[in-house]
Amino acid sequence: PEKEVNDPRVASVKSTFASTYLAPWLAWLGMGETTGHLVWHAAGCKLIDIDEIPASYRKRAQAIGTNHFETPGDK
């Protein structure tokens, strides 16, 4: 919201997004000359703290070996 953006006391404003992406088949899909395309949808919001992510989701993401929850340079 504009009021938050213009308030110097606010360190982090709320933010949401939505996106739709259309693209031709990616080569690794092996679709050849098949008619069609990809449609990707995404939506989200900015979080202030990792604890805002449901524990079940964090556990699943960490189990597949992602490092999405680490700050670059952390060990």
Amino acid 75: pLDDT? 60
Domain ranges for the chain, please list them.
2-63
Q: What is the pTM of this model?
A: 0.56
Amino acid 50: pLDDT? 85
pLDDT bracket for residue 2 (50, 70, 90): confident
pLDDT in tens, 28-75: 999 999 999 999 999 999 998 889 999 998 898 888 877 777 877 766
What is the mean predicted confidence (pLDDT) over 18-36?
96
Written in H, E and C, the secondary structure of the chain is CHHHHCCCCCCCCCCEEEEEEEECCCHHHCCCCCCCCEEEEEEEECCCCHHHCCHHHHHHHHHCCCCCCCCCCCC
Helix (H, G, I), strand (E, B) or coil at 41: strand
